[in-house]
């Protein structure tokens, strides 16, 4: 993200910028929707501040500079203490300069920092009296906010009663998770409402809505607390380290970011803070909720007290802004592409826009039902979201920017690839030929590294095999004969023998790899491993009904029904694989007990309770959550990170990418960095690669 400022040449340009910023702030804080994306607003605000610094005598009263919420929102409920905004930095250099300035102000180095995610929601204050939620108030202009207590019942993580009868005010952010956003939009459009433009817009609209005929959930995450003046609560809320205050709030039953991949951590020194900033930034794309930065606070009460606060922001905290991941641009067209399983996926063609350091010209549109639900039209100004390496997606049209010249999106009548009929019975449309429509893609996927890992079988070779009529699905790979391959162009004896050897090796891959190669919709590498570990054999997977599948971690009723239906469709392919001698068992996995037995009922109870026991509980990593970091050595040196995750899960553990209090074991290789330090601070067991290899030696013998 660039930290450049808009250049304002004269007083007229300055006045226009102030008006534009004020209007954008008013829309943003009222509904969560604005004509400017975050990046554009930040550049405009920096330009305004720069102009005012050079021309202080021309500063307008309506300028957003130095005002909470850009001076946009006003409420009628006074705050216990002002709810301030945060100043921003955009680079490591700016953060280091801010830190040096803070330490000069307090006359000593900052002893410790609290580093936590900057959640992309709406700041609120929740007042509890004797442990019961009494009032919920928006930030407003920082001095007074709006009473939105009517919405509290639909806010997850904000309990009606605390675990103790204390009188306090908890402050935090209300947001929509990705799941809540999708579910909320579906419910909203079913009742005739326009879809929310983005999760923040959804949270803002939901928080202020009254007398709706439907319910939309949001989620609360606390970032602080203070005693109410009349409470008589102990001084711990003001004299304790910020990290301890968050722990206290969590113990009362209120959501904090603890337990999430970006949970708050206590850091010492600028270097350690920067490591955590980088770690949170790298996780951004995989989070179930939006963040737009990292908040860094002086942890000790003495440092916060000596630093003090300005009229707009505290001097002891800063927001380290991440590159923008949302931009507004124009929808130029829609392309219809066919995936390897025959799914017909719409893709948005956009007016190119720079997001998160790259130029975006295309974005996903999910499915036709989603297009209809969001009322997207060609020519719309649309909000586009991108984070990390995630494919950009169109969230919604910015409806108030419509000119009337927008046109409906045309849906295909026939498969755009092969001209066959389209099955429109589900939200995701599909060519009636299914995988046969994209046979090359389907076979190439099955032969890929994370599936059967057939070396030498790239897309070009697959095309040869399909064109020659030798392969009609990937099971046919296991019946190829040497003479057939030698007859193909550019297939000599060495190439042929190497390919046949690779196919023979693939014949003995674990069930998890074979199941993943099937490409069952709604499952991927991790889910395939969980299914294979639970059922142990393909026969048991195929025989399972939806209820049994739901015993696998991460499979709900809808996904279970979809998997059962697709396995029926894949039955002929699975039979061919069995006849070809492909392995259909998962090494080390223990089959579940037969339904109706006492053991089966116990396992079902364990699954419902989130217990890691059950089939495979005697495995060396049973019940353990394992994180791998750094470069592996010895017996683990040649394993990719995905192969390490497979190894962990075959040995009964659960793989994770971040260290938290739920982590049981950290496998720390060379240059382990901050994850090792955090694990040691939390008292989590740390194993060197050699020690871990001994723990899972029996499973290393299985080709990962």
Residues 6+ positions from 3 with CB-CB distance below 8 Å: 46, 90, 91, 94
Q: Which CATH architecture has domain 619-704?
A: 3-Layer(aba) Sandwich (3.40)
pLDDT at position 601 is 47
Q: Which CATH superfamily is domain 77-321 in?
A: DNA ligase/mRNA capping enzyme (3.30.470.30)
Contact in structure between 392 and 347 (CB atoms under 8 Å): no
Fold match between 77-321 and 326-430?
A: no
Residues 6+ positions from 588 with CB-CB distance below 8 Å: 616, 619, 650, 651, 652, 698, 699, 702
Smallest CA-to-CA distance from 293 within 198, 387, 219 is with 387
| Cα maximum dimension of the chain | 89
Q: DSSP readout, 312-368?
A: SSBTTEEEEEPPP-EEEEEEEEEEEEE-TTSBEEEEEEEEEEEETTEEEEEEE---H
Q: Where are the beta strands (DSSP E) in 190-232?
A: 218-227
Supply 467's token pair: 């064109």
528-562: per-residue pLDDT in tens? 988 998 899 999 999 999 889 988 887 888 788 88
Indicate which residue of 67, 118, 638, 675 is catalytic. Answer: 118
pLDDT at position 179 is 87
Please, what are the averages of pLDDT over each run of 10 residues along the chain (704 residues)? 61 77 65 58 75 76 63 71 90 92 95 94 93 92 89 93 93 93 84 78 85 88 89 66 94 93 92 92 85 94 93 92 84 90 90 81 87 89 75 80 90 88 88 83 88 89 90 92 91 92 93 92 83 91 91 84 88 93 86 60 43 54 88 87 83 80 88 81 90 88 50
pLDDT at position 306 is 95
Supply 229's token pair: 């003046």
Query: What residue ranges do the domains of the chain occupy?
Result: 11-65, 77-321, 326-430, 433-507, 619-704
pLDDT at position 401 is 78
Place of tokens 């737009």: 292
- Annotation marks residue 67 as catalytic: no
pLDDT at position 595 is 56
Distance (Å, whole) CA 487 – CA 247: 69
Supply 223's token pair: 């970032």
Q: Which CATH architecture has domain 11-65?
A: Orthogonal Bundle (1.10)
Phi and psi of 565, rounded to 5°?
A: -65, -40
* Cα 212–chain centre separation: 29
pLDDT at position 687 is 93
Distance (Å, whole) CA 681 – CA 558: 41
Q: How many CB atoms lie within 10 A of CB 275?
A: 19
Burial class (CB in 10 A: 0-12, 13-18, 19+), 438: buried
Q: Which CATH architecture has domain 326-430?
A: Beta Barrel (2.40)
225-273: per-residue pLDDT in tens? 998 876 665 556 778 999 999 999 999 999 999 989 899 999 998 999 9
Contact in structure between 22 and 65 (CB atoms under 8 Å): no
Burial class (CB in 10 A: 0-12, 13-18, 19+), 512: buried
Mean pLDDT for all residues in the chain: 84
Contact in structure between 78 and 147 (CB atoms under 8 Å): no
Helix (H) or strand (E) holding 648: helix 641-650
Q: Identify the CATH assignment for 433-507 out of 3.30.70.2190, 1.10.150.20, 1.10.287.1260, 1.10.3720.10.
A: 1.10.150.20
Contact in structure between 238 and 227 (CB atoms under 8 Å): yes
User: What letter would DSSP give residue 161?
Assistant: B
């Amino acid at each position: 993200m660039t930290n450049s400022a808009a250049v304002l040449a004269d007083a007229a340009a300055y006045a226009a910028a102030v008006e534009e910023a004020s209007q954008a702030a008013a829309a943003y804080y009222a509904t969560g929707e604005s004509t400017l994306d975050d990046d554009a607003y930040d550049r405009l605000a920096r330009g305004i501040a720069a102009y005012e610094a050079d021309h202080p005598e021309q500063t307008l009263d309506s300028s957003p500079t130095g005002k909470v919420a850009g001076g946009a929102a006003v409420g009628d409920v006074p705050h216990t203490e002002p709810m301030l905004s945060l100043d921003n930095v955009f680079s490591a250099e700016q953060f280091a300069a801010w830190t040096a300035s803070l330490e000069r102000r307090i006359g000593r180095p900052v002893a410790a920092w609290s580093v936590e995610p900057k959640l992309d929601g709406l700041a609120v204050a929740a007042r509890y009296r004797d442990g019961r939620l009494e009032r919920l108030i928006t930030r407003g202009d920082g001095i007074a906010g709006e009473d939105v207590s009517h919405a509290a019942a639909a806010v997850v993580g904000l309990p009606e009663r605390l675990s103790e009868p204390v009188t306090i005010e908890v402050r935090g952010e209300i947001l929509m998770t990705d799941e809540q956003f999708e579910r909320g939009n579906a419910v909203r459009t079913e009742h005739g409402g326009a879809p929310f433009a983005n999760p923040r817009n959804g949270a803002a609209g939901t928080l202020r809505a009254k007398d709706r005929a439907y319910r939309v959930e949001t989620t609360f995450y606390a970032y602080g607390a203070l005693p109410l003046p009349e409470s008589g609560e102990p001084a711990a809320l003001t004299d304790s380290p910020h990290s301890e205050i968050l722990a206290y709030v969590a113990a009362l039953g209120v959501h904090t970011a603890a337990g999430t991949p970006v949970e708050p951590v206590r850091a010492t020194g600028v270097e350690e803070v920067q490591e955590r900033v980088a770690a949170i930034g790298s996780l951004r794309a995989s989070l179930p909720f939006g963040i737009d930065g990292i908040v860094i606070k002086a942890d000790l009460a003495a440092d916060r007290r000596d630093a003090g606060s300005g009229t707009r922001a505290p001097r002891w905290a800063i927001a380290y802004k991440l590159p923008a991941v949302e931009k507004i641009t124009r929808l130029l067209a829609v392309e219809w592409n066919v995936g390897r399983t025959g799914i017909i996926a719409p893709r948005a063609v956009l007016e190119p826009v720079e997001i998160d350091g790259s130029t975006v010209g295309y974005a996903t549109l999910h499915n036709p039902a989603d297009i209809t639900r969001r009322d997207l039209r060609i020519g719309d100004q649309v909000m586009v979201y991108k984070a990390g390496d995630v494919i950009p997606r169109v969230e919604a049209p910015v409806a108030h920017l419509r000119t009337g010249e927008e046109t409906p999106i045309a849906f295909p009548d026939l498969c755009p690839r092969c001209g066959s009929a389209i099955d429109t019975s589900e939200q995701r449309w599909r060519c009636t030929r299914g995988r046969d429509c994209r046979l090359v893609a389907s076979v190439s996927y099955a032969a890929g590294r994370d599936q059967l890992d057939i070396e030498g079988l790239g897309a070009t070779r697959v095309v040869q095999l399909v064109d020659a009529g030798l392969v009609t699905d990937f099971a046919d790979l296991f019946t190829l004969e040497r003479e057939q391959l030698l007859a193909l162009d550019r297939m000599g004896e060495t190439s042929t023998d190497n390919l046949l050897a690779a196919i023979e090796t693939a014949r003995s891959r674990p069930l998890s790899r074979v199941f993943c190669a099937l490409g069952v919709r709604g499952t991927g590498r991790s889910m395939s491993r969980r299914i294979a570990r639970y059922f142990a054999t393909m026969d048991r997977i195929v025989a399972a009904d939806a209820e049994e599948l739901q015993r696998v971690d991460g499979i709900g009723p809808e996904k279970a029904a979809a998997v059962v239906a697709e396995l029926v469709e894949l039955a002929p392919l699975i039979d061919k694989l069995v006849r070809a001698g492909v392995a259909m068992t998962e090494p080390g996995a223990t089959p579940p007990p037969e339904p109706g037995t006492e053991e089966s009922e116990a396992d079902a109870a364990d699954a419902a309770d989130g217990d890691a026991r059950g089939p495979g509980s005697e495995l060396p990593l049973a019940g353990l959550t394992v994180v791998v970091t750094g470069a592996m050595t010895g017996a683990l040196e040649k394993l990719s990170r995905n192969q390490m995750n497979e190894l962990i899960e075959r040995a009964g553990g659960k793989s994770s990418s971040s260290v938290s209090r739920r982590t049981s074991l950290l496998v720390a290789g060379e240059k382990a960095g901050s994850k090792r330090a955090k694990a040691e601070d939390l008292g989590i067991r740390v194993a060197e690669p050699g020690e871990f290899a001994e723990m899972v030696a029996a499973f290393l013998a299985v080709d990962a």
